[in-house]
Structure 1
Amino acid sequence: MRRSVDARKLVYEAREQGYAVGAINHHNEETAEAILLGAKDADAPVFVQIGRAIIPHMGIRRAFDIVRRSEEETGKSCVIHLDHGGYDEVVEALKLGVDSVMYDGAHLPFEENIATTRRVVEAAHFLGVPVEAELGKIPEVEDLDSVNWEDYYTDVDEAVRFVEETGIDYLAISVGIFHGISATTEPRLDMERIETLAKETGVPLVLHGVSGLPDETVREAVARGVAKLNIDTELRLKFREGIEAVWSEGDRHLEAAMSEGRDRMRAEVTRKLKLFGSAGRAG
């Protein structure tokens, strides 16, 4: 029987002690192992996330089972977290026994987002599971040419009301970040907005789309109040880099390519968790 991890405690301790917990999407057994082994090497807590891409591919149950099995095989426990889930997906994840959920109602009108998020919080908290929600919009890298950032930023007054009326445990914010890595556009985070949101809402903040951020920007965001950092693309590219390196040598077994991808992603996971300040804090 798997023992659940107190995700809320991890995130709140990170905020109080001035570091951030890493939250990383997995895509198969090898990437799940890379995340857990990289966190084990760093002696760091970690969220392994069931994200938007994997659900259409294999479903929540199979994705959950992969993480649970990888925990047993690596000897490293983690927070199993549903990322960007709709209402039905949150319900399914709660039934499976995830440790944390993110309900994504950011696309809804503000009042409806409050109402549906509150329903999720009531159900999740009944089971002892913390809830993350998002306010503001985070664009995809392919949409950057049409983005008016003032329409995407998290509004401070709305955030305060949203937190108070929903009872969420941590808040994902939009402060100039985007999903993916751009060859032409560098994210420019509104650090003052981060600091104000942290102070006014009173809950730990989450930053999605950390891939490609300079190290010094990550450190400043954490210092300003971000306690959970979501990263996917940059680590996924490390996995791909390993596969391509093996295949460039000619005909090789798929297992050799996957193993190299896992090793390279594992090393980068360790580096990122050290950057986030969570290394040595697994205990």
Structure 2
Amino acid sequence: GPVSIDTSTKSIDDRYLTYVVNPYDEIAVEEAVQLKESCGSGQVTVVSMGDSSAEKALRSCLAVGADRAVLLCDPAFSGPDSYISGAILAKAISFLDYDLILCGVRAIDTNAGQVGAVVAELLGIPLVSAVAKIEVSTDCRRVTVQRKLERGDREVVEAELPALLTIELGHKPRYPSLPSRLAAQRKGIDYYDAAALGLLPDEVGSAGSKTTVLSVSPPKPKARKLFAPDSSLSPAERMRLLMSGGIQEKEG
């Protein structure tokens, strides 16, 4: 459907949009599943915040190998900024057992790239961003990663576990088989609201947000430049220039 901006909420009108898993988060899930498979043990838990429509995305993660899905769902959660989104996720994760947290480097809709850093800070664990490759030590106490830098450069970083990595590059997400899709539909999803997390309504959503969106506007249309041949040229020459897009032939 058409994409438009809702001026009353200062956000994109999502009535006609179809939500999918953020591509960077898809890579993060694939990396988590591959780490579980290579280690021969462990559990992959996927956590998302949203309304019931987010179930579809969570089930797609279950279909590719995640073991458990958690949905943070409460009307009070609506309208959060990056800090509050990270704070709610961190609160939920604090109730879970974890050794390594993987998330996308950024969401392709807001492109903020801040939530992962907030989660790591509030949990008090190391953060490594823009990760392109992951290796976990044999004793499962450390992780060695390659970070993607500008101009194609790479930086190798080691961190003690538990840690949080924001994923930018990695293995191509697998395509789930039909039996895996059907099995994912039968799995339960754990729901948590604000009360279950011990959060008050004024601490979450737009009420608790630290930043305010002042305006949202569509990109300005780019002016199109049309080529017009010199009127002093002959009709045949003007036609030739129009057909060639104004490219002049080299002489000699």
- TM-score normalised to structure 2 length: 0.30
Q: Which has the higher helix share?
A: 1
CA radius of gyration, larger in: 2
- TM-score normalised to structure 1 length: 0.27
